[in-house]
Every structure is written in structure tokens, then in C-alpha cells.
Structure 1
């Protein structure tokens, strides 16, 4: 089984995804709690601008101060990484592929040549599940396609090997 997924078609950049490294990605979603808790979507660019603006203002008023390295490093819960079930939102990758303005659909292709298409406007509603109880999805992976509303949690699309933007 190949663990690489490509985003091709009507895009500016062809993207190659490797789900085996997403366990270290800060954008991963804990699927054990995602469908049971209320989540607020944050615009990462807006959060960054706000934090940089306040940092800039503080530097103007107080002068530059450099924080100790250990306080700014992100800590990972190692136990959670080896026992958790994780996914990642597909829209992070679609932004980098830059679909054309005239793109109408997103099609997911499976290992056994099945295809399922959705309108491109729904692209923010997809989660790629890449880990089950700390282990990669080797049998029916590399990823499972879940909808953010949880409607297909029991029967996700499996064995996805490609994404085509039409």
C-alpha cells in the first residue's frame, strides 16, 4: 500500500501529501473529542497578525525583550501521540494547491478506482483521519475521509490515494 496522496487537476500547484508525518503537525485534530465537543474555527492568519501587532506595540513601548527558548517551545503529550486517534482538515492542503477559480468539484479516488465527487464549495467540510489509537491506518488507509458534521463516522471513505480538482 502506498502512503502518498496527490492533489492534482485544476490547481496551480500539484501537492503531494504524506500522512505518516502528520502526527507531528500542530494542526492535527483529536478525533476522540472532535465530534463530542463544540469547536470554534480560528483563522490562523488573523491570530498571527493580532499576536504580532501586540508584540510590535510592546517592543515600541518597552524595548525588545527576547523570551527564553524553553518557554516558547511547543510540548507534545507523548502518551496521547501513541494512543490517540487523529485527523487533519483537508482545507489546509487545498489552500496550498490553489484551486482555479473555475474549479467546480473535488473528487476523491480510492485504491480500487472508486471515485466520489463533492462540490468544491464543500472542501472545508472534510477531515482526513490518519491515525487510529496511535497507529497509522495500514490496512485500509493511508487515510479515511470524514465529514466535519460526523455523519459518516461509522462508514468513512477508505483507501484514498488521490484527489482531483475538476
Structure 2
């Protein structure tokens, strides 16, 4: 369930997508491909719900820690998430002359540009569970152009 990021870069790394469920950089799959106006609206709605919940809880005084923990746990175990790969690409320091990324899967290989890779999202959890059958990750372009046919079963990403 790990993915290697190797090739023409300064620091090769091994990524374990099973721990991303606890990472704050993860994005809900349903929110990942919304346009900017929809994202802003979604963020405003979430902030409004959070503010309303805070206002109710300050007057009622429920056991806040237990309520939030249960809510967050159930949310983690039922949602589908993607992780932007941009931070990992910045960490490995891709060589300036690198132009292509090869995505090695179980039975195939795909080539994409470094820019496509840098703006991609990695699906790592479906319904709160790791992708065991066709994982460990799926790659979606940031623009959503391959939303219905992502690259699956990715085991290694080689930068050339």
C-alpha cells in the first residue's frame, strides 16, 4: 500500500497513502472538482454551519470534545478523499530538466507531463477506507478532465 516517487529528483520518497486520512491537506472528492465560485460557496456554507453549531453549543454546554470527536470520526469513515500531490512534488525537488512523469501500474504504464502531475489529485480513500482492490492510489488531473477514467493501481511514479 505504498507508492514510490523516484527518478530525476533530488530526494526520492516513499509515500504511504493510508495515513493521509489524518492529514489536514486532504480534500473531499465531491469538492475537489468544483469551480472557484462553487468552492467559495461551499466554504462559506461550512463556516456558517460551524458558527451556528458553536453558537448552539455555547448556550447548551454539551460535552464538546466527545461530540466533535464522534462527528469527525464518523465523517472520516464515510467520505471519499483526494490529496493534492503538489506538496510532495515540491518536497522531492524535481530537476529543472524533467519533463515527463511515468505512472507505473500493476499491468501498464502511462506518461503525463510534470505540470499535469503537479496539478493532480490522488484518490486514496473511498467511503473512508483505503483503496485495496485497485489502489493504493488513483490519479485525477486537477481540471477533472479524467474524472470518470482516472489512472488506477499506481505503484510507482518515475520522474524523467
After TM superposition, the score normalised by the length of structure 1 is 0.73
1:81 aligned onto 2:76 = yes
Counterpart for residue 132 of structure 2: 138
Give runs of aligned pairs for residues 91-130 of structure 1, distance below 5 A: 91-112=86-107, 114-130=108-124
CA offsets, 1:65-121, max 9 Å, x none? xxxxxxxxxx78222100000010111111111111111111111011x11111213
Q: What is the rounded CA distance, in whole Å, between the counterparts of 2:148 and 2:117 in structure 1?
A: 20
Between the two proteins, the alignment pairs up a number of residues equal to 130
Please point out which of 20, 26, 29 is paired with 2:27. Answer: 29
CA offsets, 1:122-162, max 9 Å, x none? 23321100011111111100011111111212111110000
Q: Whose helix fraction is larger, Structure 1's or Structure 2's?
A: 2
Counterpart for residue 151 of structure 1: 145
Counterpart for residue 19 of structure 1: 17
What SS is found at the alignment partner of 1:158? strand
Q: What is the rounded CA distance, in whole Å, between the counterparts of 1:123 and 1:154 in structure 2?
A: 17
After TM superposition, the score normalised by the length of structure 2 is 0.75
Aligned CA distance change for structure 1 residues 82 and 37 (closer, same or farther; 3 Å): farther
Counterpart for residue 66 of structure 2: none
Contact 1:32–1:84 at 8 Å: present in 2 too?
no
CA offsets, 1:36-72, max 9 Å, x none? 35347xxxxxxxxxxxxxxxxxxxxxxxxxxxxxxxx
Aligned CA distance change for structure 1 residues 142 and 91 (closer, same or farther; 3 Å): same
